[in-house]
Amino acid sequence: AGILEFKNEKDQSGRGTIEVTKTISGLTSQTDIDKALTNLKFEITKDGETTPTYTITAAADATYKLVKDGTGYKCTITNVPVGKYKVKETVTSIDGYRVSKDYTVTGTTGNDDSSGVEFDVIDNNTSILTYRNTYSATSIDVKFSKKEIVGNNELPGAMLTLYKKDAGGSWITEP
């Protein structure tokens, strides 16, 4: 007759999945969308580590790459060791735009992930991380004035016409 001993320990050897989804709104030109994608970067760091465990970008040579998925972009990382992690979107800005962002990370919502958002990778489960960036063009106040060639006096009744390029490259005026 022998003694049978059982010890109940939490198994940390399990694996899960991380799914990052990114949507971008407010940009109308493909050039600006491409700029925003070029600037995208997520860092996912395992608890206790100082350098990111996973870095996600849209770069063609990225190990973990955001790819077009319907109206957004997605990256799925499989075989992730279970444990606590932090995610942070580190680059979002593009010239000429303000950006507001919001996220949902496994049920936690917010709009400031500057210190990272914690989440758990659980055995045989998928941790869903959803980020949305909304861009709005920055405006510039411009004051026009028509003055005499000689002197510094305003020309009364002077009229100016503003033109802009349309999508086809032609110069147009708008009322």
How do residues 12-56 score in pLDDT, each as one tens digit? 579 999 999 999 999 888 888 888 888 889 999 999 999 999 999
Tell me if 18 sits within 8 A of 122, measured CB to CB. Answer: no
Q: Find, among 91, 101, 111, the residue nearest to 37 by Cα.
A: 91
Categorize the per-residue pLDDT at 116 as very low, low, confident or very high, splitting at 50, 70 and 90.
confident
Tell me if 125 sits within 8 A of 156, measured CB to CB. Answer: no
Exposed/middle/buried for 26, CB within 10 Å: 0-12, 13-18, 19+?
middle
More confidently predicted of 164 and 121: 121
| pLDDT in the model for residue 75 | 94
pTM, whole model, 2 decimals? 0.70
Query: What are phi and psi for residue 106, nearest 5 degrees?
Result: 40, 50
Average pLDDT over residues 101-122: 87
Q: Where are the beta strands (DSSP E) in 4-49?
A: 15-25, 41-46
Which helix or strand (DSSP H or E) is residue 67 part of? strand 67-69
Exposed/middle/buried for 24, CB within 10 Å: 0-12, 13-18, 19+?
buried
| pLDDT in the model for residue 120 | 94
Quick check: 159 pLDDT over 90? no
| pLDDT in the model for residue 90 | 85
- Distance, CA of 20 to CA of 17 (rounded, Å): 10
| pLDDT in the model for residue 175 | 56
Highest mean pLDDT range out of 93-97, 119-123, 165-169?
A: 119-123
